[in-house]
């Protein structure tokens, strides 16, 4: 008998029929002899509808009140799922985030979990009940209701799994698991049986929307064994854990891409100390996240440098740079918005030098030029023109021996939380 | 500067436009120099929609889980109303029932308030905030979420007004106030300026749906000054308070009716001690509420007696009586379902004997026969055939000098909670 935490996202409980299917799924797990704690998100579009109503009343609704509003979505889900469980003869109990013991800081809208007191959850398990906990929410020491922000329900599941020392934390979603790359782009993409926390973290940060990086960090910190699997079928899914038992000989585990990339270049900048700090300090102060930064060599006391920002922030970032002109006498600012960032990720890279060189070689053999490069211990990213995305991902996928014969399963819309 | 509790029902906040109107109304009150605590019900049909979803999952959903589900309705209302208040530049804060300090017993679905700790409400008032509290809900000492059942939001408002020693508790609804009788039946019905707690209690128990009897009882016990008024206009409304300052010379304040009435007669029952206790004990045990009971004289050691039950419970009640036949050898059971109960209510009756006789006289002059009678200190009820309802109410209304020239305002659908 194992203790499972099972997390179901909003699309998995999007309507009454899906809710029933999830209830059946949990009952199956219990029938296998396991104890179950379930974490659920708000149903389908509930959250968007609530936000829409709030915006009609107030263009800038206070974060505290938005938390009061939004947390009802998960409370409805847990109550209905508990009602569904008892409808099929199972003893179940639902808890809000605060009832389940989630104590957070006071940052409404994106609160951090301070600690979890899972006493009531454990007591209910003792009584043989299936425990259903609202994801995405908690309470401050002053009794204020908070939400955990993006990735909040995944984080709830992982943190709760750590707090109650669950054997496994299963993340049910609308895809079969973690893929070697996006199956919509590469038909021969293969589902990974295992992946390390670090690899998952890189993939999640690179835009693989299946798991939120925050939840992966939490899982890594508390060594929670994660399984990502589909709520629509019984396929095995992907195990995320420490790398010790990783598959042998795999250098690159997955290939990710990010279309939300734009490049800004500042040309002819005086090469004096503190210039980079000035530019990127200003951008950070304006809330613009910068990803890759490349500085060219200095000529005649002037340097060029380029960096990437999210495409959606390009206009804002350019305005910030233009506003700096009086203090920073650069020659010219240019930008490009038809870009994509392709990344290879693999824990095996650490011990295999030359992986980056191989990537550059594959890309150049396809006649595509690399605009920018960035590397980490287990990742190499190249920025290329977006028109080449499919060709390059396919070529890399084949070059790193990731192709499979199977046809990938790709489900419905991605879960938001 | 006074401290107001303002309660708005579900139809008053039924959509975004109405929500905005309510927000404006509260702002007006604040502009008059008053402090405001607001109690709100769930928006329009929210509750029905949630119940419908639950029933699709489970024909008999557990009461605890229904409370988890239903309380989200009020939480959405308070959050949205608070967001609306800040949208028009007012500092507001919303609280769930448990945050506002409502501690209840453990009877899910119809919990009783044990006590209220209004500390957070008072602190927010100190800070100059408008405090918006979810009606209808509370929490047990074990941290379980409960609902107060029928009339719960009215009761929340009155109980909170008592706890924070508010000067007035205003119940905003879809009618202008308490009427001398139903304005849909009698065009010359007049709005009462004042009414006593006891009269209001009788009227509420007799089916005048504007205020729930439980809230009136609470107001009487804690001497909370109630005002019932419309959320759609600025008319004065009806003040409900102790009878000291009641209008002089008024004997009958209002006329109520109840169509949900049926009569059961048990004929030829042996006149032995304990028969009544046997019959009505059994009915009570089966959950059948009995209203008027009449026993005829005894002949040949046999008696007849009749009683009224809710029309909706007639079939059930008859089945219970028939099941008693082996223990209780009566001759026959008959029933009537085309009935209505008409009641006159007035605190002045106590000092005016002959009010009942006048009522019987008015009814008999209209050629209508009285089937059953019941009286209390401030009420006389007669059961008549339902076809005569309009004629009799109009005649009584005129006879007791209740007619007015004004046309009554009658609003939209009644609030449920």
Among the partner residues B53, B79, B96, nearest to A80 by beta-carbon distance: B53
Question: Which residue has better confidence, B294 or A144?
Answer: A144
What would the mean pLDDT of B20-34 be, rounded to a whole number? 96
Distance CA B182, CA B393 (A): 9
Tell me the pLDDT of chain B averaged across its residues.
90
> What's the whole-number mean pLDDT along residues B265-279?
85
- Flag whether A9 is marked binding: yes
A347 neighbors A253 (Cβ within 8 angstroms): yes
> How many CB atoms neighbour CB B201 within 10 A?
23
Q: Please state the rounded mean pLDDT for residues B254-278.
A: 88
Q: State what percent of residues in chain B have pLDDT above 70.
A: 94
Q: For A252-257, what is the mean pLDDT?
A: 90
Fold exhibited by the domain B3-173: Carbamate kinase (3.40.1160)
pLDDT tens-digit map of A83-93: 999 999 999 99
Tokens of B293: 């009971």
Per-residue pLDDT at A413 = 40
Measure B76 CA to nearest chain A CA, in Å: 5
Q: Indicate yes or no: CB of B79 within 8 angstroms of CB of A65.
A: yes
Quote the percentage of chain B above a pLDDT of 90. Answer: 62
CB contact under 8 A, A65 and B82: yes
Return the SS3 of B267.
strand
Distances from the Cα of B326 to the Cα of B303, B316, B332, B334, angstroms: 17, 18, 13, 17
Between CA A413 and CA A403 the distance in angstroms is 25
Residue matched to tokens 């804002």: A316
Per-range mean pLDDT, top range of A63-67, A233-237, A412-416: A63-67
- Give the contacts of A233 (CB within 8 A, at least 6 positions apart): A176, A409
Segment A156-161 mean pLDDT = 97
- In Å, how far are B189, B246, B358, B370 from B348, measured between CA atoms? 19, 9, 14, 23
pLDDT exceeds cutoff 80 at A254: yes
Q: Is the predicted pLDDT of residue A211 greater than 80, yes or no?
A: yes
Least confident of A197-211, A310-324, B42-56, B58-72: A197-211
Instruction: Tell me the pLDDT tens digit for each residue of B64-114.
Output: 999 999 999 999 999 999 999 999 999 999 999 999 999 999 999 999 999
User: For chain A, what percent of residues have pLDDT higher than 90?
Assistant: 62
- Calculate how close chain B gets to A44, using CA atoms only, in Å: 14
- Minimum distance, in Å, between the CA of residue B16 and any CA atom of chain A: 7
Q: Region A184-198: what's the mean pLDDT?
A: 89
Alpha-carbon distance B222 to B242, whole Å?
11
What pLDDT, on a 0 to 100 scale, did the predictor assign at position A408?
Answer: 45
pLDDT greater than 80 at residue B247 = no
Chain A: residue whose CA lies nearest to B17: A57
Note the pLDDT tens digit of each residue in B307-345. 999 998 999 999 999 988 888 889 999 999 999 999 999
What is the Cα–Cα distance from A230 to B391, expressed in whole angstroms? 68
B54·A143 Cβ contact <8 A: no
- pLDDT the model gives residue A305: 87
Q: Per CB distance under 8 Å, which residues of B are interface residues toward A?
A: 16, 19-20, 23, 50, 53-54, 56-59, 61-62, 64-66, 68-69, 71-72, 75-76, 78-80, 82-84, 86-87, 92-94, 96, 99, 120, 143, 145
Choose the closest CB to A16 out of B50, B53, B59.
B53
- Write the pLDDT tens digit of every residue in B180-191: 898 888 888 888
Distance, CA of A117 to CA of A250 (rounded, Å): 40
A235-262 b/e with 16+ CB inside 10 Å = b?
A: eebbbbbeeeebeeebbbbbbbbbeebb
Residues of chain B with Cβ-Cβ distance to A64 below 8 Å are 93
Lowest pLDDT segment from A283-287, A358-362, B142-146, B346-350: B346-350
Q: What architecture is the A262-336 domain classified under in CATH?
A: 2-Layer Sandwich (3.30)
The C-alpha of A198 sits at a distance from chain B's nearest C-alpha, in angstroms, of 39
Instruction: Round to whole Å and give the CA distance between B353 and B365.
Output: 20
Reduce the secondary structure of B276-340 to three states and give it as a string: HHHHHHHHHHCCCCEEEEEECCCECCEEEEEEEECHHHHHHHHHHHHHCCCCCCCCEEEEECCEE
More confident residue, A379 or A68: A68
Residue B344's SS3 state is: strand
Asked if residue B350 has pLDDT above 50, the reply is yes
Mean pLDDT score, B233-249:
76
First to last CA, chain A: 30
Strand order in the sheet with B372-376: B254-258, B339-345, B379-385, B372-376
Architecture of domain A3-246: 3-Layer(aba) Sandwich (3.40)
Structure tokens at A145: 């209701």
Mean pLDDT over A204-230 rounds to 86
Tokens 């009414």 found at? B195
- Tell me what the mean pLDDT of segment A261-276 comes to: 87
Residues B385-415 have pLDDT tens digits of: 999 999 999 999 999 988 876 544 444 344 4
Q: Do the Cβ atoms of A84 and B50 come within 8 Å? A: no
Domains of chain B, residue spans: 3-173
Give the predicted TM-score (pTM) of the model.
Answer: 0.84
Residue B297 pLDDT class (50, 70, 90 cuts)? confident
Average pLDDT value for residue range B41-47: 90
- How much is the pLDDT for A393? 94
CA atoms within 13 A on the CB side of A140: 16
Residue B416 has pLDDT above 80, yes or no: no
Confidence of residue B209 (pLDDT cuts 50, 70, 90): low
| Tokens 């609308």 sit on residue | A174
Average the pLDDT over each of A108-122, A238-252, A375-389, B324-338 and give the range with the smallest value. Answer: A238-252
With beta carbons under 8 A apart, name residues in chain B contacting A66.
79, 83
- Longest Cα–Cα distance in chain B: 80
Q: Is the pLDDT of residue A417 over 50?
A: no
pLDDT greater than 60 at residue A248: no
pLDDT of residue B248: 56
Q: So what's the pLDDT on residue A82?
A: 98
Distances (CA, A) of A243 to A193, A212, A320: 13, 19, 42
The alpha carbon of A226 is separated from its chain's Cα centroid by a whole number of angstroms, namely: 14
Structure tokens at B89: 């530049």
Looking at residue A247, its pLDDT comes to: 55
pLDDT at residue A377, rounded to an integer: 83
């Amino acid at each position: 008998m194992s203790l499972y935490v099972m997390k179901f996202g909003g699309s998995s409980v999007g309507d009454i029929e899906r809710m029933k299917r999830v209830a059946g799924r949990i009952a199956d797990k219990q029938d296998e002899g396991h104890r179950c704690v379930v974490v659920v998100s708000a149903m389908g579009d509930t959250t968007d509808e609530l936000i829409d109503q709030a915006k009609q009343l107030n263009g800038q609704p206070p974060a505290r009140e938005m938390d009061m509003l939004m947390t009802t979505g998960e409370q409805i889900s847990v109550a209905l799922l508990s009602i569904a469980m008892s409808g099929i003869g199972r003893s179940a109990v639902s808890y809000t985030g605060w009832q389940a013991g989630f104590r957070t800081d006071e940052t409404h809208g994106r609160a951090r979990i301070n600690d979890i007191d899972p006493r009531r959850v454990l007591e209910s398990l003792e009584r043989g009940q299936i425990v259903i906990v609202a994801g995405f929410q908690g309470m401050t020491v002053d009794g204020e209701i908070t939400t955990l922000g993006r990735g909040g329900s995944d984080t709830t599941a992982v943190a709760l799994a750590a707090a109650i020392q669950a054997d496994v934390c299963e993340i049910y979603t609308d895809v079969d698991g973690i893929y070697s790359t996006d199956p919509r782009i590469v038909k021969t993409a293969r589902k990974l049986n295992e992946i390390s926390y670090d690899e998952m973290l890189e993939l999640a940060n690179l835009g693989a929307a299946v798991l939120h990086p925050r939840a992966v960090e939490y899982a890594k910190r508390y060594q929670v064994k994660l399984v990502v699997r589909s709520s629509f079928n019984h396929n095995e899914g992907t195990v995320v854990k420490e790398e010790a038992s990783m598959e042998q000989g795999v250098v690159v585990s997955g290939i990710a891409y990010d279309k939300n990339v734009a490049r800004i270049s500042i040309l002819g900048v005086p090469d004096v100390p503190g210039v980079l700090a000035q530019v990127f300090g200003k951008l950070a102060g304006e809330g613009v996240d910068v990803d890759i930064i490349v500085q060219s060599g200095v000529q005649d006391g002037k340097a060029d440098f380029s960096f990437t920002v999210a495409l959606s922030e390009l206009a804002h970032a350019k305005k910030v740079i233009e506003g700096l002109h009086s203090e920073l006498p650069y020659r010219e600012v240019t930008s490009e918005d038809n870009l994509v960032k392709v990344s290879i990720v693999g824990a095996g890279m650490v011990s295999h030098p030359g992986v980056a060189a191989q990537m550059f070689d594959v890309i150049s053999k396809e006649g595509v030029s690399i605009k920018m490069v960035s590397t980490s211990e287990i990742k190499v990213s190249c920025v290329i023109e977006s028109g080449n995305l499919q060709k390059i991902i396919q070529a890399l996928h084949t070059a790193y021996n990731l192709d499979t014969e199977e046809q990938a399963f790709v489900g419905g819309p991605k879960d938001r939380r």
